[in-house]
Structure formats: C-alpha cells, structure tokens
Structure 1
Amino acid sequence: MKHSIVTAVALALFLASPAAFAAQDAVEVPPASTAPAPGGAYTLDKAHASLIFRVSHIGFSNYTGRFASFDAALDIDPADPAAAKLEATIDPASLSVENPPSGFLESLLGPDWFDVAKFPAMTFRSTKIEMTGDDTARVTGDLTLHGVTLPVVFDATFNGGYASHPFEPNARIGFSARGGLSRSAFGIAYGVPEEGSTMGVGDAVEFIIEAEFTGPAWADAPKAE
C-alpha cells in the first residue's frame, strides 16, 4: 500500500511538471485542409454551441441564463453568404440559471414568464442577411416566442471554417453572434420596471450565441493514419 501511494504521488508530480507539459506539446496535431468550406447544408454541432441571455436585475447586475436544448440548420454558399438560410428551434423548458432559489426556476417556466406548458417551443427563421464586412453580417429573422412572432436582428461574425480535417472528414464552420429584443413585445412583461426606474427585471434582453456547424463530407479528404 505504501509503495502504491508513493507511486501515485510521483506520477502526480510528473504530470504537473514542465517536462510533462513539454511532452504533451510535442504531440503534433495534423493540420486541417486548406480548401475552403464548401456550400451546402450544415447542422449544428450541439457539443460546441451555446445560447445565453442577459437581462438587467434592478440595475445592479445583468442576470444570466442559458438554454441547454436547441438545434439549428444552416444552408450556405460561401460564394454568396447573403443568400444563406438559417432555421433554429429552442426548448424553453431547458432553461438553466445559476443557483436558483427554491421554486424560482419553476416560476420562470410558469405562466408569468415563459409559460412552457402553453408555449413549448421557440423558433427562428432568417428572412434577410446583410453583409457588413468580409466576415460579419446582420441577420434579420422572425422569432416566435411566447406565442408571438416578431422580427429580431443580430450581428454575426464568421470565425472560420475548413473543408475537412484528418480527424473529421466533414466541413466545419463557426460563428459568434449577439442581438437583443424587448421581452414585453413578446408578451412577457412581468416585473418590467416603471418608466424612469430600474427596480425590477429589465425589458431589454441581450442574447449571445456561439455555434459551430458541420457540413458536407469532402470526397478528397485525407485519411487519418
């Protein structure tokens, strides 16, 4: 037993040492292809995507929540990104917040807020994409939330992509996006402060999106050895 404890301690010290990190750094990761990502249908990589929202809490902080369950489909031609089409669905019942007091999450999902029993899905469908730079765009679309459909706008940044990788034969692209909406416009007005006051939960909601999509397989992709 004493020998095994000494061995475990020695192993832990080695793994924490600069030599161990140097050994890890010596492992070479094969590069991705230099071919551009192809056009076609892309699906959301849910393991590398997040949907977060923030709203003022009595003017003292930005209360933050996220939805754990959502999906999206993107049809895009890199040669004509303004013609891309994006559709997304969100399960509002998958709402997650930090350290909720007892009963608080149930309240958010109830009639005063998201009312998920009556409105079990949120959807988004793009209607217009305007390029604002080489890798940036303004995306307009119809958001259905709480039974109300209204246009929302968000700014998106294309972070890059590849046609394939030795570890992944499919194309991959990634985006970051930010936008905002008025929750009262969608019929969720509970707790909105009176005009001129911040004592409540703000009407303006900021949403933040990080998303990677996987696309068509590249026939000429190199095979991993």
Structure 2
Amino acid sequence: MSSDDPPHLMALPGPAARGTAELRRCMTELLELVGTHLPARTVDAGSDEEEQRGALRVALGYRYSDYPAELPEPFFGALVRAAVRDPDPSLNRQFVEPLRAAFGARRTQEALLEILTAGSDPERAGAARAWYWATLETFEDLQDRWNRAALREFVAHDDLDVRRCVLPGLSLDPAGYPAELQPLVAEAVRIARTHSDGYLRHRVELQVADPNG
C-alpha cells in the first residue's frame, strides 16, 4: 500500500454481550403493536430473530418512502428500545428510520441523547450506534449537545462497548468545544491511544488525522 492510499478502516467490533434476548423482546413488543394498530399489514412471525426482523420489515416498510408517516404513540418508545438494543450498527436502521419518519428527526435525536446521558451502559452504546441513522437530518443545537455529552461519557466511563460506539462519531477538534471542555479532548485522545483495545487505538489515529471526519 502506498503512502497515498487511504488507511484501512477497522470494523466496529460486536458488543461484549450481544443482548439478543432483549432485542427479541423488543421486536415481540413491536409485532404485538403492529397486530393491534396496523391490522391491514399484520404478518405472521416466528420466534427466530431473522423471522421477526423480516416480519417487521413487511409491517413497517422496506424503504424510507414506505414507512408510515404516522404511528400511534406506543410505537415511539417501542422503536427507541429496539433501536438501542439492536447490536448491529447497520440493521438497527430498520428501527431508527420508521421512528424518524413517524415521529420526526428532532424527537428521535432527543430520545437518543437522553439515553446517552442517563441510560445503562448497553443502552448508551446502543444510542451511539443508532445516532448515525438518526442524524441524516441534523440540528445544530442537538449535535452540539450530543458532542459535549459524548465527550464526557467517553472520558468518564470505562465501559468498552460504550467507548467503541461513541468514538467514531466523536469530534476530536478542540475548537468545536467550549473552553472548559477542551482539555477533555486531549484526555479522550490519550485514553484511546493508550487503551488495551486495538479498535480504539486504530480508530483514534484516523480521527486525530481528520478531527472532524
């Protein structure tokens, strides 16, 4: 590889505990809501995770344009719970996008921000994974709040899954933070560079080279 080639991007490792049982409970809750509120789109679903995912894809739409523009209020909490409990940073899109379509990007982002600051460690990690899909429409005030909260969480809490999920979306440009938080940027870089986890060490070097990217 020449010096001009882009650096290899290491994939985000899976969580230490995947929480499949929690996700399946969340999907069961969603399927029950579908049967109650969307009778025209009710589908049979088995107990297997893939069958549940497939049934929800049919019920809630395959593509963004297919997602219901409105859903009853009980779907909001159920979709948030599924989004943060899904350990897959790609498949969680299946829950985030109908959430955004039915309840709006701002409300979706506010819910994830609250979980990042007040949830359990698995929920914090899940909120960070879901944030990517939630921010296809951005709001400057919420992005600033997320950046500050994510920086504090990364430095203050040593849960590995949380740090792995927060770091890819974490700005490492001190100029993007108020003066009182700028020292935490250097501390976040130090933590990642000296961490025993190879993903954190790899990822931080990419982000130090491009602190906003």
TM-score with structure 1 setting the length = 0.20
Q: Which has the higher contact order (CA 8 A, sep 6+)?
A: 1
Which protein has the larger Cα radius of gyration, Structure 1 or Structure 2? Answer: 1
Structure 1 or 2: more strand by fraction:
1
Structure 1 or 2: more helix by fraction:
2
